[in-house]
Amino acid sequence: MSRITTAFGAESTASDVIEGIDLTGQRAVVTGGASGIGIETARALAHAGAEVTIAVRDLAAGDKTAADIGRDIKVAPLDLADPVSVRSFVQAWDGPLHLLVNNAGVMACPEAFTLQGWELQFATNHLGHFALATGLHTPMAAEGARIVSVSSRGHLFSDVHLDDLFFARRDYEPWSAYGQSKTANILFAVEATRRWTGDGITANSLHPGAIMTNLARHLSPEALAEARARSGGAAQFKSVEQGAATSVLLGTSPQLEGIGGRYFEDCNEALPNVEGTRTGVAAYALDPVTSEALWEASLNLIKGAS
């Protein structure tokens, strides 16, 4: 497989990458579409003609975002950490779906668990999006769809620990938990593409860049300094418009038609990570054996959830 490169880069914005693309008649869902890069992702898609549903926990914030964008924006409730909420969203969906942007997430939060006993970051960032995507498989397969899985450079902090997903046998460490959940986002895209390409569905993952958004709400100044150090000490912050660019590119570019299972950063397919650096994609995040095992484990978890 040849590496995919584009005419865009780190400074490109969502409006740059979608210029000239007509999404009239297309329907999109953006989770976490009322904050951060979710807003700019929804804005770019709507301005290109798509009917966009922003799936949010805070309906008031969602309504404000919809009014601000001023296009065909719908607002629907979704709490990714609550399986009942995810099922309600899926059951309410009617008609085809052309683009699912799994954007919402939490980062480096204090130790917390859902009612099911799932560690909160893994539950929100991976399991909730997994349940959403599998639940929406039929409408996505109706006309073929793309899935955009927003991961992070933070996946370099941790592989997925299939034998201890929820820190029952390990001391909880916020960045390791975040890293595990972000690796899961990449593995999901690998396995979704393998299983669903025949249905016309492909999935890719990405690192959006370092952006100061509400995602960092749990971080003290000291924790932010640690985050910069973990990222190599020289993270270049992007605007939210630049941060949304890679998501929008993966969701709309003709260059990505029929292509899935890959990880991108700065609007280009990432190179393999070199040990000791904080760029590129870790080999474990693209491992097909792990992706299949994680898929089966995730299926078993959400089937037993209530």
Q: Could you tell me how many helices (H) and strands (E) the chain has, helices first?
A: 12, 10
- H/E stretch holding 43: helix 36-47
Q: What is the pLDDT of residue 304?
A: 81
AA letter at 18:
I
Pairing of strands 201-207, 51-56: unpaired
d(CA 190, CA 183): 11
Q: Which domains, ranges and CATH numbers included, belong to the chain?
A: 14-303 (3.40.50.720)
Return the pLDDT at 228.
Answer: 53
pLDDT of residue 1: 78
Cβ 154 vs Cβ 182: under 8 Å: yes
pLDDT at 305: 83
Q: Which parts of the chain have pLDDT scores under 50?
A: 216-218, 233-234
> How far is CA 95 from each of CA 43, 127, 130, 139, rounded to the nearest angstrom?
22, 24, 20, 6
What is the C-alpha separation between 137 and 53, in angstroms, rounded? Answer: 17
Q: Which two tokens stand for residue 284?
A: 């474990």
Q: What confidence tens digit (pLDDT) does each residue in 52-66 have? A: 999 999 999 999 999
Take residue 296 and report the two structure tokens written for it: 């089966």
Residues annotated catalytic, as ranges: 178
Q: What is the pLDDT of residue 234?
A: 46
Residue 226: per-residue pLDDT:
58
What are the b/e assignments for 253-288, b being 16+ CB within 10 Å? beebeebbbbbbbbbbbbeebeeeebbbbbebbbbe
